[in-house]
Amino acid sequence: MFVKPKIKDLPDGSLMVEVTLNHDREFLNWVYQYGPNAEILEPKSYRKTMKEQLQAWMNIYNG
């Protein structure tokens, strides 16, 4: 799925993972498994897609 992953330990104990993707949807599905323990920093379009998906889920489960 990923090409040339780069993993960096950060001072606060978190990890920075940088990847080159072959498929956008596979990446987002991979991130979903980590729930709120993961944050998409870039690209902004992926953050937007994640936010839209989370809002759709909120509409379902809060409705």
Query: For the CA atoms of the chain, what is the radius of gyration?
Result: 13
Residue 2 has pLDDT above 70, yes or no: no
pLDDT at 56: 95
Which alpha helices (H) appear in 3-43, and where do they start and end?
24-32
- Residue 36: asked if its preceding bond is cis (omega within 30°), the reply is no
pLDDT at 24: 81
Tracing tokens 């104990």 back to the chain, one arrives at 13
Q: pLDDT confidence of 53, banded at 50, 70, 90?
A: very high
Average pLDDT estimate for 22-51: 89
